[in-house]
């Protein structure tokens, strides 16, 4: 075979080894296999809305997701719209936003951007100046709201995110390590006030997702977020990758396990009911939502630094 | 063959009829965290390397 493995379904040159089945896939068959799994997820969402939103950071996962959805255009009747949050992270976001715009224009997908300064008056960089909180915590809280506001503005009721099977498996294990049952159930579902969230890549590995972006000519090696430092997730990722290497299929089983537990225990675990925030009126947990708490902390900080 | 690592550094490694996967593992890396490109084309990691190959390793695990 002269060092050139061939696709197990056709005579094409292989680009991918499916380690679980030991089969090789060419570019076309790899893409079709990913598309089939994504379509399978999406058709479970009935009825499909007129407008289908994609949370589009411009990173490889959401880029690949957008490319897959465009490829499935004929099979999904909804109109696609890409929703991007610009958090205002100097030296990082400019480049990913530029990439996001470029991808949308190349794929001919409608694109909307909302910025932290527009919505909250400050960029993430501003928020992080002498803040004692972790950037990812604040960013996560604010970005989720920004995406909800944007989805609401655009009349989007179904929002897909680029989370892949590896993310899913990592989260499952992290939840298990912390024994946080509530998190397992809050992980998806009632997450947003207006838009239902789905993860079409939940059964697609990060390698396949990355490969899809490369094969679609949409992959660029973007800089990493300067604030990214989830050391625990990194550790879990390495551990899981090592385990998957030794025992192919483990990652898929782990990602599947959480969904299985959730669906079997549906309704049996009492979740805290959503409340409307007394300040902004947005639904969340507690009298004052997390976003308003972050904004209040920021205000207090400014007041104390200006001596008021 | 020449291996270009994700951080950009290059090293000449004798392939000796082994798979790229075996060579990656020998370097202490997990093949699952990488994709392999030869002359700009993605190849599966169980491809047998030739001494004349120039192999680029692409890291897949990034934040977002
Ligand atoms: Zn094929
Ligand atoms: Zn509020």
- Residue A189's pLDDT band (boundaries 50, 70, 90)? very low
A215 at interface of B, judged by CB pairs closer than 8 A: yes
B47 at interface of A, judged by CB pairs closer than 8 A: yes
pLDDT reported for residue A261: 82
Helices then strands, each counted (H, E), chain A: 12, 9
- Average pLDDT (A67-79) is 94
- Average pLDDT (A139-143) is 90
- Residue A111's pLDDT band (boundaries 50, 70, 90)? very high
**A286 phi-psi bin (left φ>0, alpha ψ -120 to 50, beta other):** left
Q: In angstroms, what separates the C-alpha of B44 from chain A's closest C-alpha?
A: 5
B27 at interface of A, judged by CB pairs closer than 8 A: no
Q: Is A280 exposed, middle or buried (0-12, 13-18, 19+ CB in 10 A)?
A: middle
Structure tokens that stand for A279 in this block: 């300040």
The helix (H) or strand (E) run that includes residue B43 is strand B41-43
pLDDT reported for residue A224: 78
Question: Do strands A283-284 and A275-276 pair parallel, antiparallel, or not at all (unpaired)?
Answer: antiparallel
- Residue B63's pLDDT band (boundaries 50, 70, 90)? very low
CB-nearest partner of B32 from A16, A207, A214: A207
Beta strand spans in A88-171 (E) = 110-115, 158-160
Contacts of A3 in chain B (CB under 8 A): 47-50
Report how far residue A266's alpha carbon sits from residue A278's, in angstroms, rounded to the nearest whole number: 30
pLDDT reported for residue A217: 95
pLDDT reported for residue A273: 75
Contacts of B45 in chain A (CB under 8 A): 17
pLDDT reported for residue B62: 57
How many beta-carbon pairs under 8 angstroms link A with B?
A: 66
Q: Tell me which of A176 and B10 has the higher pLDDT.
A: B10
Distance B34 CA to ligand 2 centre (A): 42
Chain B residue with the nearest C-alpha to that of A58? B64
A91 at interface of B, judged by CB pairs closer than 8 A: no
Query: Which residue carries 């989370």 as its tokens?
Result: A163
- Average pLDDT (A192-214) is 90
- Average pLDDT (A229-249) is 89
Q: C-alpha angle with apex A216: A151 to A73, nearest 5 degrees?
A: 50
Q: Tell me which of A180 and A142 has the higher pLDDT.
A: A142
Q: Tell me which of A76 and A178 has the higher pLDDT.
A: A76
- Are the beta carbons of B62 and A224 separated by less than 8 Å? yes
Distance A212 CA to ligand 1 centre (A): 14
pLDDT reported for residue A1: 43
Report the CATH architecture of B2-59.
Answer: Roll (3.10)
- Residue A207's pLDDT band (boundaries 50, 70, 90)? very high
Question: Do strands B2-4 and A283-284 pair parallel, antiparallel, or not at all (unpaired)?
Answer: unpaired
Query: Which residue carries 């499935």 as its tokens?
Result: A72
pLDDT reported for residue A306: 62
Give the contacts of A265 (CB within 8 A, at least 6 positions apart). Answer: A185
Report how far residue A160's alpha carbon sits from residue A65's, in angstroms, rounded to the nearest whole number: 9
- Residue B64's pLDDT band (boundaries 50, 70, 90)? very low
* Under 8 Å between Cβ of A37 and A18: no
pLDDT reported for residue A186: 60
Contacts of A17 in chain B (CB under 8 A): 44-46
pLDDT reported for residue A208: 97
B35 at interface of A, judged by CB pairs closer than 8 A: yes
* Ranges A17-21, A47-51, A76-80, A269-273: which has the least confidence: A269-273
Chain B residue with the nearest C-alpha to that of A228? B63
- Average pLDDT (A200-214) is 96
Q: A76 φ, ψ to 5°?
A: -120, 110
Q: Which residues surround ligand 1, an ion (CB under 5 A)?
A: A 7, 9-10, 12, 26, 29
Q: Is the pLDDT of residue A97 over 60?
A: yes
CB-nearest partner of A3 from B35, B50, B58: B50
Q: C-alpha angle with apex A226: A220 to A229, nearest 5 degrees?
A: 105
Structure tokens that stand for B2 in this block: 């020449």
* Under 8 Å between Cβ of A274 and A285: yes
pTM: 0.92
Beta strands across the sheet bearing B34-38:
B10-12, B2-4, B54-59, B34-38, B41-43
pLDDT reported for residue A31: 98
Q: In angstroms, what separates the C-alpha of A3 from chain B's closest C-alpha?
A: 5
Q: A188-197, A257-266, A299-308: which has the highest mean pLDDT?
A: A257-266
Report how far residue A254's alpha carbon sits from residue A148's, in angstroms, rounded to the nearest whole number: 29
Report how far residue A142's alpha carbon sits from residue A129's, in angstroms, rounded to the nearest whole number: 16
Q: Is the pLDDT of residue A228 over 80?
A: no
- Are the beta carbons of B44 and A17 separated by less than 8 Å? yes
Which pLDDT tens digit goes with each residue over B36-62?
999 889 999 999 989 999 999 999 975
Chain A residue with the nearest C-alpha to that of B41? A15
Q: Cα A25 to chain center, whole Å?
A: 26
Please provide the average confidence, as pLDDT, over all residues in chain A. 88
């Amino acid at each position: 075979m002269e060092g050139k493995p061939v696709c197990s379904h056709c005579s094409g040159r292989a680009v991918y080894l499916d380690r679980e089945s030991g089969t090789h896939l060419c570019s076309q068959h790899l893409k079709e296999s990913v598309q089939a799994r994504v379509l399978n997820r999406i058709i479970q969402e009935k009825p499909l809305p007129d407008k289908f939103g994609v949370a589009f950071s411009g990173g490889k996962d959401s880029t690949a997701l957008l490319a897959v959805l465009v490829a499935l255009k004929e099979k999904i009747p909804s109109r696609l719209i890409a929703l991007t949050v610009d958090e205002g992270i100097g030296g990082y976001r400019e480049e990913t936003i530029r990439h996001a715009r470029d991808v949308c224009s190349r794929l001919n997908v409608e694109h909307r951007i909302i910025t932290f300064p527009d919505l909250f008056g400050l960029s993430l960089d501003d928020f992080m100046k002498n803040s004692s909180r972790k950037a990812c915590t604040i960013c996560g809280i604010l970005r989720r709201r920004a995406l909800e506001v944007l989805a609401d503005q655009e009349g989007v009721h179904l929002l897909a995110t680029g989370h892949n099977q590896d993310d899913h498996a990592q989260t499952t294990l992290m939840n298990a390590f912390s024994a946080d049952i509530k998190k397992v159930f809050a992980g998806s579902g009632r997450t947003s006030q207006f838009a239902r969230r789905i993860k079409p890549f939940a059964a697609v590995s990060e390698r396949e997702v990355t490969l899809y972006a490369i094969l679609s000519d949409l992959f660029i090696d973007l800089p990493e977020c300067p604030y990214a430092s989830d050391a625990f997730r990194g550790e879990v990722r390495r551990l899981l990758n090592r385990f998957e290497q030794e025992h192919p299929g483990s990652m898929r089983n782990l990602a599947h396990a959480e969904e299985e537990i959730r669906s079997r225990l549906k309704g049996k675990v009492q979740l805290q009911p959503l409340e409307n925030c007394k300040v902004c009126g947005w639904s969340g947990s507690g009298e004052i939502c997390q976003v308003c708490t972050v904004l209040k902390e920021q205000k207090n900080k400014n007041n104390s630094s200006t001596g008021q | 063959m020449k291996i270009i690592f994700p951080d950009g550094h290059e090293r000449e490694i004798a392939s000796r009829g082994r798979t790229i996967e075996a060579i990656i593992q020998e370097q202490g890396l997990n093949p699952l965290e990488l994709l392999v490109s030869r002359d700009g084309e993605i190849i599966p990691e169980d491809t047998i390397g030739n001494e004349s190959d120039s192999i680029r390793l692409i890291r897949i695990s990034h934040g977002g």
